[in-house]
Amino acid sequence: MIHAEPAEMTRLAQGQGFLSLRGLTRRYDHFTAVDDLNLDVAKGELVAFLGPSGCGKTTSLRMIAGLVPASSGHIVVDGRDLTGVAPYKRDMGLVFQSYALFPHMDIARNVAFGLEMRKVPKAEAAQRVKEAIAMVRLTGREHHRPAQLSGGQQQRVALARALVVRPSILLLDEPLSNLDAKLRDEMRTEIRDIQKRLGITAIFVTHDQMEALTICDKVVVMNHGRLEQVGTPHEIYEHPKTAFVAGFVGRINRLSGRASGGVAQVAGITVSAPGFEGDVDVMVRPHRMVLSTGPAPADAGLHQLSGTVTRATFAGDILEYEVEAAGTLLKTEASTRGGEALLAPGTPVTLSWRPQDTFVYAAS
């Protein structure tokens, strides 16, 4: 991520990435939906905008699409400043959460619409519509109306309609949230496959961290209109820069401690906290905590806490535990791969985890 000073704007407008956002801001009367967003997306990348509802991810997408005017800042695609350009001249494809298919046109007419607007010759258009419909595996449904198709099929039509015009950028606004769980997984991989095959630059807005982590090259985590962190799924998950990112992407245990001199004291143990002073939040992911009964395995390299099981839940693939340790309730889980039995509440246990799985943040 590159932070642009206004003076540098002209130079940056030439574009570091295929798509560059420079200080993109959207203010409403009483709040700022998107605040100074700076981002570079390389050609062919699939980037997720991830965050809770109201974090500004959809507003950002709609500003890129041109459906919401930016209060300030710039949108540059392939060296061309598109800020203020009408949506119909931006040459982007947008897939809506609600699909937004034309209810009065059949599938073929829906897909052909963008080509018609671009005055593509009839024969070529027909060929491209055929290919696009084949690409989303809907051959044979050309003359169905949208209302006759299932949600998943409608979403595939929306995808074909957006892609058939070969847009410079594909924008996807929560495309999977109206589908049921099984279909969602299928469509997720399908979208990823098609995007890779076409090599198209794509932005994928979602509130679902699984979607963002599993199919995207890069994840942009947003909160309260601000950018929290940009990185690969691995970076976001393993090295969350802020407490918000750590808590939003994956589950998390939170412990309060105090830092001084590069280390933090928390729940009676010492963790490394370079650069922190005063109150800190120490976070560890539940499934990175290994639960063991009996005497704790002596391993100087691990952080360890002793506690008692207060709640045990059998969840099929895993066993979920709540452990009270040093006055805090911590969540953890154990695999059932070896046929492990559920521990009874009250069982004394030890939680151990690797130092690199410990995240430290200034207390909020």
Partner 1 sequence: MDERPVSPALKIAAGLMFLFLLAPLLVVLPISFSGDDFMAFPPSSWSVKWYGAIFANSVMMNAFWISLALAFVVTVLSLGIGLPAAYALVRLKPPGAEALSNLFSAPLLLPTIVLGLALLLVFAPMGLIGSFQGLVAAHLIVTLPYAVRVLSTALANLPLTVEEAAGMLGARPLTVFFRVTLPMMRSGLVSTTALCFLVSFDEVVLSLFMTGPRLQTLPVAMYNHVDQQADPMAAAISVLLVVLTLAVVLVVDRTAGLTRTFVK
Partner 2 sequence: MTSLTLCHAEPRRLGPLGTASALLLPIAVVNAIGFLWPVVNLLKMSFREAQASGALGAGYNLDTWTNALTDSFTLELITNSVGVSLLITVLTLIASYPIALYLHRSTGTWRTVLMVLVVAPLLTSAVVRTYGWIAILSDRGLVANALMALGMAEPPRLMFNLTGVVIGLTEILMPYMILALLSGFGRLDPRLEEAALTLGASPLKTFWRVVLPLTAPGMALGGLLCFVLAISSFVTPKLLGGGRVFLLATEIYDQAIVTLNWPLAAALSMIVLVVFGISLTLYARALRRIA
Partner from partner 1, partner 2, none binding residue 197, C-beta < 5-8 Å depending on class = none
Sequence-separated (6 or more) residues with CB below 8 Å from residue 27: 33, 71
Contact at 8 Å (CB) between 271 and 264? yes
Partner from partner 1, partner 2, none binding residue 4, C-beta < 5-8 Å depending on class = none
Residue located via tokens 């959809």? 58
**What's the rounded Cα separation, in Å, for the pair 15 and 20?**
6
CB of 19 to partner 1, least distance (A): 16
CB of 74 to partner 1, least distance (A): 20
Nearer to partner 2, 9 or 318 (CB): 9
Q: Taking the CA of residue 223 as centre, how many other CA atoms within 13 Å lie in the half-sphere pointing to its CB?
A: 13
Q: Taking the CA of residue 119 as centre, how many other CA atoms within 13 Å lie in the half-sphere pointing to its CB?
A: 0
Partner from partner 1, partner 2, none binding residue 181, C-beta < 5-8 Å depending on class = none
Q: What is the number of other CB atoms lying within 10 angstroms of the CB of residue 181?
A: 7
CB of 94 to partner 1, least distance (A): 4
Residue 128 sits in the site that holds partner 1 (CB under 8 A): no
Here's the x/- map for partner 1, 82-121, by CB under 8 A: it reads as ----xxxxxxxxx-x-x-xxxxx--------xx--xx---
CB of 89 to partner 2, least distance (A): 6
Size of the site for partner 1 (CB under 8 A): 26
CB of 92 to partner 1, least distance (A): 6
Contact at 8 Å (CB) between 284 and 272? no
Within residues 158-197, the interface with partner 1 by CB under 8 A covers 158, 161-162, 165
Residue 67 sits in the site that holds partner 1 (CB under 8 A): yes
Residue 9 sits in the site that holds partner 1 (CB under 8 A): no
CB of 21 to partner 2, least distance (A): 14
**C-alpha distances out from residue 259 to 132, 179, 263, 266, 357, Å:** 58, 46, 6, 9, 18
- For residue 217, what is the DSSP state? S
Which residues of this chain interact with partner 2, rule CB under 8 A?
9-10, 13, 74, 81-86, 89
Nearer to partner 2, 83 or 178 (CB): 83
**What's the rounded Cα separation, in Å, for the pair 219 and 249?**
10
Partner from partner 1, partner 2, none binding residue 114, C-beta < 5-8 Å depending on class = partner 1
CB of 12 to partner 2, least distance (A): 11
**What residue type is assigned to position 288 of the chain?**
R
Interface with partner 1 (CB under 8 A): 65, 67, 86-94, 96, 98, 100-104, 113-114, 117-118, 158, 161-162, 165
